[in-house]
Amino acid sequence: MLLHKIEEVRKHVKNWKKQGLSIGLVPTMGALHAGHLSLIKKAVEKCDKVVVSVFVNPIQFCPGEDLDKYPRTLEADNKLCEEANADIVFAPSPSEMYGEGQMHTNDFLTYVIPPFFYTNKLCGKSRVGHFDGVCTVVNKLFNIVQPDFAFFGQKDAQQLIIIKKMVKDLNIPIEIIPCPIVRENSGLALSSRNKYLSEEDKTYALALSKILNNIKSCYKKGITDVNALKETAYAFLNEHHELEYLEFMNENDLEAVTTATDNTRVFIACKVGGVRLIDNLLLGE
């Protein structure tokens, strides 16, 4: 069932709660791919009722980013959700979420701001304010849907860690379920932004997962010095790659490490053909 209004969703949620049914939320920006579908599948298995939100959240895009050209495919998304047995697809308009006028700015909107220690690194460094927008909209969706469980992909690992931190810090009564990255056979992590890639760029994009897998192999062979592990990346990069970061951090608190352990997550961001791609991997997995 496709709903656009907050009050309509609340009505169903209230009814479900009265019946004692458990609720799962899968927050997305649409342009659904097999990665999202794995989240929805997990939610359907675990919960009595499942809400998939489809909302390209303007306040998490920075100036100059791809807000306007971000793929919007609501009809197809809705069909996929129905086939996956989601109960509600919630696709609000920006004004339904934020009202009219200047509501997007910090001057006139209450924001949920994750801690600086978690946002001044990795994607947060180039995407200033991005995670403020993410936490604010996720908090809103949590309050609208009041789920028992919310499902997030490991693909956006920094986002997942920040959301978990928000839930802990604000005592939000929701359990966050992390879901593993879904990849093409080639190893390329699925992303809605892959649609921007030319066929040629797609082959260059494989560098990200290759770099991560190679680092993991080296780690399994006993190399734990992060600088040494970082150096193994350059063999996979050429003039088609614009590396933004390759970082080793503690899985739980995003503290940078100099010696890799099983709890170390390796994060990479790299532009290929002008498209910004990210990937990551836990060394202990």
So which residues are the catalytic ones? 36
Q: Are the C-beta atoms of residues 260 and 283 closer than 8 Å to each other?
A: yes
Please give the size of the binding site for its own copies, defined by CB under 8 A.
30
Which CB atom, from 107 or from 239, has the smaller least distance to its own copies?
A: 107
Q: Are the C-beta atoms of residues 79 and 191 closer than 8 Å to each other?
A: no
Which CB atom, from 150 or from 246, has the smaller least distance to its own copies?
A: 150
Residue of the chain from 2, 3, 67, 172 that contacts its own copies (CB under 8 A):
172
Pattern 112-141, its own copies, x by CB under 8 A: xxxxxx-----------------xx--xx-
Closest CA to 24 of 96, 93, 110, 85: 85
Q: CA torsion 87→194→188→29, rounded to 10°?
A: -30
- Dihedral pair phi/psi, residue 149, rounded to 5°: -135, 140
109 binding its own copies? (CB under 8 A): yes
Taking the CB of residue 44, how many other CB atoms lie within 10 A of it?
A: 18
Residue of the chain from 6, 74, 223, 257 that contacts its own copies (CB under 8 A):
6
Nearest approach in angstroms of CB 223 to its own copies is 31
Contacts (CB under 8 A) with its own copies, residues 33-92: none
Residue of the chain from 47, 166, 182, 246 that contacts its own copies (CB under 8 A):
166
Give the Cα separation of 152 and 4 in Å (integer). 22
- Dihedral pair phi/psi, residue 231, rounded to 5°: -65, -25
Six token digits for residue 263: 């709890």
Residues that bind its own copies (CB under 8 A): 6, 10, 18, 20, 106-117, 135-136, 139-140, 143-144, 146, 165-166, 169-173
